Amino acid sequence: MKKVLFGFAAAVIGLTLTACGSSQSSGDDSLTKVEKKKAVTVATSGTLFPSSYYNDDTQLTGYDVEVSREIAKRLNWDITFKEYNVDGQLESLNNGTADFAANDFGLSKEREKRFSLSTPIKYSFDSMIVRKSDNSGISKLEDLKGKRAAGEASTGYMKLAESYGAELVVYDNATNDQYLTDVANGRTDVILNDYYLQKMSVGALPDIPVKILEDVYFNPSSSGLLFKKDHQALRKKIDATLKDMQDDGTLSKLAQQFFGDDVSQELTGEFQEITPLQESK
């Protein structure tokens, strides 16, 4: 069964990091180490459909996974994936277990303070999953007050829900059926997350009576790959490869394959940018 994890911080669109050359900065041996080994290690979850998940043949695949594989192929590197929850993926960058993380990570300004961010590989916006029968009593963000919001701890989505008065129900590496079933049966009321991830997840489990709340879309965002903060040389090399993949249509092809839409292209139209009403506790 395909799995999905709802649990990543909302991102802010417009964060564009220019792809640069691969010159090694002083004291940064991140690229040298990878090129010497001709091998790269990537942190991911294996539970985030359709970005990183196991298909029906029990093979790890997904948009971020295949983008990473294509990068390694073009640079003639072997690639190894290591699976962690969100906190584990971030820790693996700082302790050197992984060279970069690929798991639909939002390229937010807050995240940029702690990590080096690739150029965007996906553009999206945020939405809410609710019960089909009654919309969970929600028609706007202000209706989150008193509702039970499901998600992974310390994410931007949960902070936003809490700021609007929602009660937080925390999950750790939960799968799509658990999240959606809990909304359907009333254990929880709402899930805030990325629109395209929610669209694919609801579509994969049509028998669970939940839906994306119509016309309540907000926070345009971009996502990409994460690197340790001072690993600029490796990030620049991969950014240059991503630019080639964008230019020759490879990113668009992979986006269509996994999302049914070309999420590699910047959004057109206007989306309201929503920030937490107050600092979450």
Strand stretches in 107-239, DSSP E: 115-117, 122-131, 148-152, 167-171, 190-194, 210-212, 218-228
- In the chain, how many H helices and how many E strands? 9, 13
DSSP string, 126-146: EEEEEETTTGGG-SSGGGGTT
Question: Can you tell me the distance from the alpha carbon of 41 to that of 97, in angstroms, rounded to the nearest whole number?
Answer: 8
Other CB atoms closer than 10 Å to residue 55's CB: what's the count? 12
DSSP summary character for residue 272: B
- Name the band, by pLDDT with cuts 50, 70 and 90, for residue 155: confident
Query: What is the structure's pLDDT at 26?
Result: 59
- Computed over every residue of the chain, the mean pLDDT equals 89
pLDDT per residue as tens digits for the range 88-120: 999 999 999 999 999 999 998 889 999 999 999
Q: What is the pLDDT of residue 110?
A: 86
Instruction: Identify residue 61 by its one-letter amino acid code.
Output: T
β-sheet bridge partners, residue 127 = 193
Q: Where is 65: in which H helix or E strand?
A: helix 63-74
Q: Which pLDDT value is given to residue 151?
A: 93
**Residue 104 region by backbone torsions, left for phi larger than 0, else alpha for psi between -120 and 50, else beta:** left
- pLDDT at position 152: 86
Confidence at residue 6, expressed as pLDDT on a 0 to 100 scale: 44
Q: Tell me the HSE value of 194 on the side-chain side, using a 13 A CA sphere.
A: 32
At the top level of CATH, the class of 30-123+222-259 is alpha beta
- Alpha carbon distance 143, 28 (integer Å): 48
pLDDT band for 59, please (50, 70, 90 cuts).
very high
- Model confidence pLDDT, tens digit, residues 125-139: 999 999 999 999 999
**Which of 281, 230, 274 minimizes the C-alpha distance to 12?**
274
Domain borders along the chain are 30-123+222-259, 125-218
Superfamily of domain 125-218: Periplasmic binding protein-like II (3.40.190.10)
Q: Which residue has the higher pLDDT, 11 or 82?
A: 82
- With residue 200 as reference, give the H or E element that holds it: helix 195-204
How many degrees, rounded to 5, is the angle at CA 42 between CA 101 and CA 59? 115
> Alpha-carbon distance 181 to 150, whole Å?
11
Q: Do 30-123+222-259 and 125-218 agree at the fold level?
A: yes
Q: Which pLDDT belongs to residue 14?
A: 34
- Distances in Å between the Cα of 10 and the Cα atoms of 42, 53, 59 are 22, 20, 28
What pLDDT digit, counting tens, does each position of 241-254 carry?
A: 999 999 999 999 99
For residue 212, which of 200, 225, 227 has the smallest C-alpha distance? 200
